[in-house]
């Protein structure tokens, strides 16, 4: 078939009516022949714009070319020159605003399904056996990576490949960060996360679990222990609440708590697993980001009959990935736009009974550039609900900074860091991911981990010293793998 | 994995374990807690640190068997392992030479009050302690408490040992007799801490309580442990566990502790019927 006649290939998915009763993965991945067909659509641009849209600069045309020529091993090898975690990225990246947004085919029609191809090639490798890349000879330098989330895992993987001895310190009992406690099984199966973590560990990275840096060990302890460099990738883990009356009633969850119970602690398999979660018939999720979609769809799978997303802006401002909104709508999640809670009320036993909301109108753009939602006076109404899940975003956890000297932070609690190198205001300490940017995406955290790893490598190999610490990136060329 | 080196039955339902966790022991201080998991399928529960030995690298934890997790923990023997021991979490107690202080420990709360009383004594306070339990069987560590207290009163609800009284009764008498403690520490079941706080409030005696709310991660990530103190929502795990007892909304804490009562029953029944289903071979 001529290339122009091939349409963008749909990815098979579990039927919505079936999947709302289970936690199995919703999107099923391309079969090989469909992946090859989709790969035919790529124009192999000489100046590929898609790569510019990728925070880790995956050589997209090259991996797609190898795939369509049937060289699957070559395809994944090309992929992994830039991306240590492709099975994860293929599932959770917002491709429609990154690589696929810049695909030339997208100007007149549908862009190449780059994310689905990435997922296909990563899943193929996981099934057939993971190849180990070349690792540089040991440098004798030691790096501590704090946090085993997307930023930390990426930085650790790259640093190990550069030849440094890396130890990751993780506060929870399982590695993965938001990939393991936040994103549900039906969107990102935990054996996929486990396999990608195992790949990073196979590069010679050590992992210490149950270790809360700032409590069990401090940054000063780590330097005293002889580490040459520290990378902070502790994310943005603290939940935000609205500070409205009634938020402490039983049945009100932060999305973090609800998702941690369900995902990390596997409450959906209670009582086989010990951690419970309590979801009634009617659930309201406040917020409309990916976390809100994950919470709403998880509540449905736990048996809720009526699940609503309550969002103060309109459909056009919804921050979640298009695919998540689409899947949520298919599953029957209701969207209440231009609606904001003002109070949660409860019964005499302290349980949530309902939520008072007010209707909103869109006003002038605010500092984020989006129209500011303004309450419409007198438009209050009540919703009867058994649970409220607050998915309003998160901010960095200050715990890691206990007794840490000289690391400057903003009033939002994020680290003041060089956006390119990840250098903090303290020599030998780098940071990347949500702890620098505030809550963002998995892939942007991975990009930050990657850039910081390159800068750490340059430092450890003597390309610059502590005296050059505050110099701009342009003046100090970073090393390449 | 964290090895249990020693285990002792303090009472039929009250157990002590000494677990090897050198990094935690190195940093542990009185008033702090750990989050533990018994096995891979287990929940994360907070336990206050009853004692620690930095040289041996061990922590002493004391718990009462009240639900599935603590009963499962109660089946562990020396040589067995815990899946996780995380900490030390929360702020340590603010230990200073205040003058005269009162330490009140109720039930299993005697365990965490001990290291606080010991440190208060070490820095020169006059330490008056009151420990109590429902009955004689639930009492423990009278000797250890006596060794760090200038005075010690022991009570039981049913009079089976010591004075037949609630801990609040001798406390009230002391305050009525004109004792002006610089600080009072009270640790025990929420209902006991509530009544200690109500007892001391009219006397204006500063009262510190250690709250035992439900937690998941214990590092500020989930907010399960939120309480209201002085009208402000606070996270027990990172802002506590100690708060001013006169400012705590006790009814909210008591209600929030009951969120999972039905599930706790189900988990216990399931365990009694099917046994432990973890893959750890216990």
Residue B45 belongs to some domain of the structure: yes
B190-200 and B168-176 are packed helices; what angle lies between their axes, rounded to 10 degrees?
10
Residue B241 belongs to some domain of the structure: yes
With CA atoms as reference, the chain A residue closest to B2 would be A210
Instruction: Report d(CA A447, CA A52) in Å as an integer.
Output: 12
Enclosing H/E stretch for A43:
none
Q: Beta strands B58-64 and B45-53: pairing type?
A: antiparallel
Q: How many CB atoms lie within 10 A of CB A297?
A: 25
In the numeric block, which tokens belong to residue A397? Answer: 């956890």
Residue B95 belongs to some domain of the structure: no
Low-confidence stretches of chain B (pLDDT < 50) are none
| b/e sequence A260-293, b meaning 16+ C-beta within 10 Å | bbbbbbbbbebbebbbbbbbbebbbbbbbbbbbb
Residues ≥6 apart with Cβ < 8 Å to A131: A73, A76, A77, A80, A125
Chain position carrying tokens 């900074």: A401
Reduce the secondary structure of A168-188 to three states and give it as a string. EECCCCCCCCHHHHCCCCCCC
Task: Answer left, alpha or beta for residue A445, where phi above 0 means left and psi between -120 and 50 means alpha.
Answer: alpha
A contact test, residue of B42, B89, B213, B219 with most A CBs within 10 A: B219
Residue B18 belongs to domain with CATH number:
2.40.30.10
Residue B128 belongs to domain with CATH number:
3.40.50.80
- Rg for chain A (alpha carbons), in Å? 23
Which residue in the set B42, B89, B221 is minimally distant from A260, CB to CB?
A: B221
Q: pLDDT class for A475, splitting at 50, 70, 90?
A: very low
Q: Is A1 a residue whose pLDDT tops 80?
A: no
Which residue in the set B42, B228, B256 is minimally distant from A274, CB to CB?
A: B42
Q: Check whether residue B85 and residue B119 sit in a common domain.
A: no
How close, in Å, is residue B252 to chain A by CA atoms?
A: 7
Q: Is A471 a residue whose pLDDT tops 90?
A: no
Judged by a CB distance cut-off of 8 A, whether residue B224 touches chain A is yes
pLDDT in tens, A126-156: 999 888 888 999 999 999 999 999 999 999 9
What is the tally of structural domains in chain B? 2
B89 contacts in chain A (CB < 8 Å)? 212, 215
Q: pLDDT class for A480, splitting at 50, 70, 90?
A: very low
B contact test, residue of A144, A246, A274, A350 with most B CBs within 10 A: A274
Residue B131 belongs to some domain of the structure: yes
How close, in Å, is residue B135 to chain A by CA atoms?
A: 30
Predicted confidence at residue B138, as pLDDT, reads 92
pLDDT in tens, B85-137: 999 999 999 999 999 999 999 999 999 999 999 999 999 999 999 999 999 99
Predicted confidence at residue B277, as pLDDT, reads 62
Length, in residues, of chain A: 481
Instruction: Report d(CA A370, CA A304) in Å as an integer.
Output: 32
Which of B23, B57, B89 marks a domain boundary?
Answer: B89
Judged by a CB distance cut-off of 8 A, whether residue A237 touches chain B is yes
Which of B56, B89, B122 marks a domain boundary?
Answer: B89
Predicted confidence at residue A478, as pLDDT, reads 46
Q: Is A183 a residue whose pLDDT tops 70?
A: yes
Q: Check whether residue B33 and residue B150 sit in a common domain.
A: no
With CA atoms as reference, the chain B residue closest to A213 would be B87
Judged by a CB distance cut-off of 8 A, whether residue A244 touches chain B is no
Give me the mean pLDDT over the A88-110 stretch: 92
Q: Check whether residue B248 and residue B191 sit in a common domain.
A: yes
Q: Check whether residue B104 and residue B72 sit in a common domain.
A: no
CB contact under 8 A, A399 and B83: no
Residue B55 belongs to some domain of the structure: yes
A401 contacts in chain B (CB < 8 Å)? none
Phi and psi at A480, nearest 5°, equal -125, 150
Give me the mean pLDDT over the A45-58 stretch: 93
CB contact under 8 A, B255 and A173: no
Q: Check whether residue B203 and residue B106 sit in a common domain.
A: yes
Residue B264 belongs to some domain of the structure: no
Most confident segment among A153-167, A313-327, A407-421 = A153-167
Q: pLDDT class for A188, splitting at 50, 70, 90?
A: very high
Q: Is A268 a residue whose pLDDT tops 50?
A: yes
Give me the mean pLDDT over the A435-441 stretch: 90
A254 contacts in chain B (CB < 8 Å)? 222-223
Q: Among the listed ranges A219-223, A472-476, B35-39, B254-258, which one has the minimum average pLDDT value?
A: A472-476
Instruction: Report d(CA B153, CA A91) in Å as an integer.
Output: 63
Predicted confidence at residue A319, as pLDDT, reads 92
Predicted confidence at residue A279, as pLDDT, reads 96
Interface size between A and B, measured as CB pairs under 8 A: 117
Q: pLDDT class for A322, splitting at 50, 70, 90?
A: confident
Which of B67, B89, B111 marks a domain boundary?
Answer: B89
Phi and psi at B128, nearest 5°, equal -105, 125
CB contact under 8 A, A257 and B267: no
Residue B217 belongs to some domain of the structure: yes
A470 or A349: whose pLDDT is higher? A349
How close, in Å, is residue A21 to chain B by CA atoms?
A: 21
Q: For chain B, positions 130-169, list CB contacts with chain A under 8 A.
A: none
Predicted confidence at residue A479, as pLDDT, reads 43
CB contact under 8 A, B251 and A260: no
Give the helix, strand, coil percentages of chain B, each rounded to 5: 30, 30, 40
B277 contacts in chain A (CB < 8 Å)? 272
How close, in Å, is residue B195 to chain A by CA atoms?
A: 20
Q: For chain A, positions 166-185, list CB contacts with chain B under 8 A.
A: 171-173, 181
Predicted confidence at residue A366, as pLDDT, reads 85
Predicted confidence at residue A476, as pLDDT, reads 44
Q: Check whether residue B7 and residue B119 sit in a common domain.
A: no
Domain that holds residue B218: 100-257
Instruction: Report d(CA B55, CA B37) in Å as an integer.
Output: 24
With CA atoms as reference, the chain B residue closest to A256 would be B222
Instruction: Report d(CA A39, CA A36) in Å as an integer.
Output: 5
Q: Check whether residue B58 and residue B121 sit in a common domain.
A: no
Residue B158 belongs to some domain of the structure: yes
Q: Check whether residue B133 and residue B191 sit in a common domain.
A: yes
Q: Check whether residue B167 and residue B148 sit in a common domain.
A: yes
Q: Check whether residue B177 and residue B50 sit in a common domain.
A: no
Q: Check whether residue B207 and residue B141 sit in a common domain.
A: yes
Q: pLDDT class for A481, splitting at 50, 70, 90?
A: very low
Residues ≥6 apart with Cβ < 8 Å to A369: none
Predicted confidence at residue B279, as pLDDT, reads 59
Judged by a CB distance cut-off of 8 A, whether residue A349 touches chain B is yes
Q: Check whether residue B16 and residue B134 sit in a common domain.
A: no
């Amino acid at each position: 078939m001529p290339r122009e006649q091939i349409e963008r290939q749909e990815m098979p998915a579990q039927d919505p009516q079936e999947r709302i009763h289970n936690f199995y993965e919703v999107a099923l991945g391309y079969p090989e022949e469909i992946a090859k067909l989709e790969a035919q659509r790529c124009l192999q641009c000489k100046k590929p714009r898609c790569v510019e849209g990728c925070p880790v600069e995956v050589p997209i045309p090259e991996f797609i070319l190898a795939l369509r020529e049937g060289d699957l091993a070559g395809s994944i090898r090309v992929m992994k020159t830039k991306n240590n975690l492709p099975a994860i990225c293929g599932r959770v990246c917002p491709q429609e605003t990154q690589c696929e947004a810049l695909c030339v085919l997208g100007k007149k029609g549908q862009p190449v399904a780059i994310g689905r191809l990435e997922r296909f090639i990563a899943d193929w490798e996981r099934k057939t056996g993971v190849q180990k890349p070349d690792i540089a000879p040991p440098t004798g330098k030691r790096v501590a990576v704090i946090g085993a989330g997307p930023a930390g895992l990426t930085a650790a993987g790259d640093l190990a490949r550069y030849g440094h001895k890396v130890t990751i310190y993780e506060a929870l009992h399982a590695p993965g960060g938001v990939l393991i406690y936040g994103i549900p099984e039906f969107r990102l199966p935990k054996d996929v996360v486990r396999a990608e973590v195992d790949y990073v560990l196979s590069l010679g990275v050590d992992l210490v679990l149950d270790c809360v840096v700032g409590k069990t060990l401090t940054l000063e302890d780590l330097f005293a222990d002889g580490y040459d460099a520290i990378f902070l990738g502790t994310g943005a883990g603290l939940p935000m609440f609205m500070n409205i009356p009634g938020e402490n009633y039983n049945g009100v969850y932060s999305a973090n708590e609800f998702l941690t119970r369900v995902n990390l602690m596997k409450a959906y398999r209670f009582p086989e697993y010990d951690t419970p979660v309590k979801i009634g018939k009617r659930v309201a999720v406040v917020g409309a980001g990916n976390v809100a979609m994950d919470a709403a769809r998880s509540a449905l799978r736990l048996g809720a009959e009526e699940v609503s997303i309550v969002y103060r802006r309109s459909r056009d401002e919804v921050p979640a990935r298009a695919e998540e909104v689409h899947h949520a709508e298919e599953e029957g999640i209701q969207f209440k736009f231009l609606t904001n809670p003002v109070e949660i009320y409860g019964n005499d036993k302290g349980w949530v009974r309902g939520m008072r909301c007010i209707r909103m109108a869109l006003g002038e753009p605010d500092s984020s550039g989006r129209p500011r939602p303004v309450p419409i006076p007198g438009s209050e109404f009540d919703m009867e609900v058994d649970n409220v899940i607050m998915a309003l975003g998160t901010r960095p956890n200050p715990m890691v900074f206990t007794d840490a000297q000289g690391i400057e932070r903003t009033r939002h609690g994020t680290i003041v860091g060089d956006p390119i190198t990840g250098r903090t205001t303290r020599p030998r300490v780098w940071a990347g991911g949500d702890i620098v940017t505030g809550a963002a995406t998995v892939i942007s955290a991975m990009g930050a981990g990657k850039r910081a790893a390159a800068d750490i490598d340059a430092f450890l190999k003597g390309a610059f010293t502590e005296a050059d610490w505050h110099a701009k990136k342009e003046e100090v060329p970073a090393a390449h793998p | 994995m964290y090895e249990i080196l020693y285990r002792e039955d303090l009472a039929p339902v009250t157990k002590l374990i000494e677990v090897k966790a050198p990094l935690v022991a190195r940093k542990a201080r009185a008033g702090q807690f750990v989050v533990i998991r018994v096995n891979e399928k287990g929940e994360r529960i907070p336990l206050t640190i009853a004692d620690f030995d930095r040289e041996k690298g061990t922590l002493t934890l004391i718990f009462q068997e009240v639900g599935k997790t603590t009963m499962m923990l109660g089946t562990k023997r020396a040589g067995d392992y815990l899946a996780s021991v995380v900490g030390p979490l929360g702020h340590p107690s603010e230990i200073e030479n205040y003058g005269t202080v009162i330490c009140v420990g109720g039930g299993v709360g005697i365990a965490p009050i001990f290291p606080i009383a010991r440190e208060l004594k070490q820095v020169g306070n006059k330490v008056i302690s009151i420990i109590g339990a429902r009955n004689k069987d639930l009492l423990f560590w009278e000797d250890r408490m006596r060794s760090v207290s200038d005075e010690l009163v022991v009570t039981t609800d049913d009079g089976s040992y010591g004075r037949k009284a609630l801990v609040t009764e001798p406390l009230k008498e002391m305050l009525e007799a004109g004792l002006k403690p610089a600080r009072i520490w009270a640790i025990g079941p929420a209902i006991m801490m509530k009544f200690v706080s109500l007892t001391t409030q009219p006397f204006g005696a500063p009262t510190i309580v250690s709250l035992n709310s439900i937690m998941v991660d214990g590092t500020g990530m989930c907010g399960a442990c939120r309480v209201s103190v002085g009208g402000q929502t606070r996270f027990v795990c990172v802002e506590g566990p100690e708060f001013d007892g006169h400012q705590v909304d006790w009814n909210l804490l008591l209600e929030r502790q009951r969120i999972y009562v039905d599930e706790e029953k189900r988990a216990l029944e399931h365990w009694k019927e099917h046994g432990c289903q973890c893959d750890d071979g216990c």
